[in-house]
Amino acid sequence: MKEFRPMELNFATPTTFQDRLVPKGKRLAGWAALVYGLGIAAPVRAVSTVAGGHIKGSHRAEGDWTIFDKRYWPGDSVADHISFALRHEQFDPLVLKRVFDAVDPDVIAEFVRKAPTGTVARRLWFFYESMTGKRLPIDDAPTVTATEALDPKTYVTAKPVVSKRHRVRDNLLGAGSYCPVIRRTSALEEYGARALSTKAAETLGRTSGQLVARAASFLLLADSRASFAIEGERPPHNRLERWGRAVLQAGKNPLTLDELNRLHGVLIEDTRFIRAGLRPDGAFLGERDENGDPLPEFIGARPDDLPDLLDGLLAANDRMSASGIDPVLQATATAFGFVYVHPYQDGNGRLHRCLIHHVLAERDFTPQGMVFPVSSVMLDRIDDYRHTLQGHSGPLMPFIDWRPTADRNVEVLNETTDLYRYFDCTDEAEFLYSCVARTVEHDLPEEIDYLRRHDEAQRRIMEAVEMPDRLAQDLIMFIRQNNGKLPKRRREKEFAALTDEEAAHIEAICEEVFSDGGG
């Protein structure tokens, strides 16, 4: 048997790391040390160093960095820094997987052999075999208390299944083929405590069925319009209605590849110029130069990788659902993972937002027959939405090698599958939860309140002057659009039959009904 020699990271700490200035007098540690020392192609989103002296409180934040006390220096070997990362840093499955690809399996095996009952060793062993699909030449773990793959107090976790070989409770949201991560933050805990699904049900419970149906119709149309507007489109009404019907069906069919393709077919009816089903070529988001060549801000997964990635995504969605994960967090991991993979030639953004509705409906978070206008909120907060998407995609772009194709598309030249398999979507979860909170606590009750006031104004107008419903509705619309006054042009045309007293009375009705912030 060959003698094992620890793999060491012998390097001088650089002055910069991934466009960040390294704090003076500090040494890279954990994920950053592994990425730099092994030449790994992956972004490190939470970076750490160890100081040469003592740090009050053991560690502190300094800009983008977490700086640890000198007592935390792990050592010079790869195993030392892996241990540091798993003990003290945010779990980063992308970096960990690429470390596994970069080191000899003996490095991992020897780490486990030295401490076969240690929690860090067993977790690392479990992650290695789950992510790589390779079995290390190690006997099954001794009978000890199983440890958690991820700490449930720090991460959102699935219902655990014990891996007897490793004595690890597998509580990941996905698996080795696709594994999103969501950290527990004060913002997410606060959103969860607000019981938004219950609030929505209570709001509707205080409202007549007829008014609820009208509110649902208006909110569905608003969401459909906004979803297209985000993509810079103004589709004809029949296309909006068709898409609205598809959104309203969200959650009624299991989420499978066939269901994704069906929804894509509803969205893209004319397939003369857009291929139905998974794309056979590259996909990018961005602009083009003066010659029409691509200037990508982000590039989707390689076409050959799409089936496997989507299988993993759908399996993770099923696991989260079976585990009773908070529906908004499940919707985040599924819908944002989908849009990053970008599996279709067109329509990925709208399908991504439809998947949010699908998960919320399937998990009974959304009241039956109701669609929260999440897309409307995203449109209102379009800069925040784009910043959230770019916060994930931007750091990945330096690690995607590509070239323009003859048809002015993109071709990815390197292995990128892991960039889409493993991602932290905590920021996305906070953003989506804030959108859902606004729809439940403001948009839904305000829409119902508006409809109540509108009905009251219409009833009183028609008591004062006999006219068709549609004309009374137009009157209300024109008056509200003109700051409480019937526009002169309208007064002289379709409403010329009104006396001055009647027109003034109708304006007064609208002022009274829609005052106090009701409109």
Which SS3 state, helix, strand or coil, does residue 404 take? Answer: strand
Q: Is the pLDDT of residue 1 over 70?
A: no
What whole-number distance in Å separates Cα of residue 16 and Cα of residue 27?
Answer: 11
Q: Is the pLDDT of residue 2 over 50?
A: no
More confident residue, 240 or 145: 145
Query: For the range 310-314, what are the long-range contacts, defined as Cβ-Cβ under 8 Å and sequence gap of 24 or more?
Result: 310/257, 310/260, 310/278, 310/341, 310/343, 311/177, 311/178, 311/257, 312/174, 312/175, 312/177, 312/178, 312/421, 313/174, 313/178, 313/337, 313/338, 313/341, 314/255, 314/256, 314/257
What are the distances in angstroms from CA 251 to CA 174, 234, 246, 362? 20, 26, 10, 4
Q: Is the pLDDT of residue 5 over 80?
A: no
Position of tokens 């137009």? 474
Contact between residue 173 and residue 322 where contact means Cβ atoms under 8 Å apart? no
Of 100-114, 205-219, 306-320, 378-392, the range with the lowest mean pLDDT is 205-219
pLDDT tens per residue, range 426-453: 999 999 999 999 999 999 999 999 999 9
For the chain, the residue count is: 519
Helices (H), 54-185: 78-88, 93-102, 105-114, 119-132
What whole-number distance in Å separates Cα of residue 276 and Cα of residue 269?
Answer: 9
Q: What is the mean pLDDT of residues 167-183?
A: 96
pLDDT tens per residue, range 403-418: 999 999 999 999 999 9
What global pTM score does this model have?
0.92
Contact between residue 30 and residue 50 where contact means Cβ atoms under 8 Å apart? no
Q: What is the mean pLDDT of residues 47-60?
A: 92
Type and span of the H or E element at 147: strand 147-148
Nearest C-alpha neighbor of 338 from the set 325, 349, 346, 330: 349
> What was the pLDDT predicted at 403?
95
Q: Is the pLDDT of residue 6 over 70?
A: no
Contact between residue 483 and residue 238 where contact means Cβ atoms under 8 Å apart? no
- How buried is residue 340: exposed, middle or buried, by Cβ count under 10 Å (0-12/13-18/19+)? buried
Which SS3 state, helix, strand or coil, does residue 406 take? Answer: coil
pLDDT tens per residue, range 469-513: 999 999 999 999 999 999 999 999 989 999 999 999 999 999 999
Q: Is the pLDDT of residue 317 over 90?
A: yes
Which residues does 262 contact at the CB level (< 8 Å), separation at least 6?
253
Look up residue 495 and give its two tokens: 């409403």
pLDDT tens per residue, range 359-373: 999 999 998 888 899
Which residues does 195 contact at the CB level (< 8 Å), separation at least 6?
none
What whole-number distance in Å separates Cα of residue 378 and Cα of residue 420?
Answer: 23
Could you tell me what percent of the chain has a pLDDT over 90?
A: 80
More confident residue, 25 or 246: 25
> What was the pLDDT predicted at 358?
94
What whole-number distance in Å separates Cα of residue 32 and Cα of residue 98?
Answer: 13
Identify any residues that bridge with 8 across adjacent strands, giving them in sequence order.
77
Position of tokens 């549609």? 470
C-beta neighbour count of 502 within 10 angstroms: 14
In the structure, what pLDDT confidence band is assigned to residue 273 with cuts at 50, 70 and 90?
low
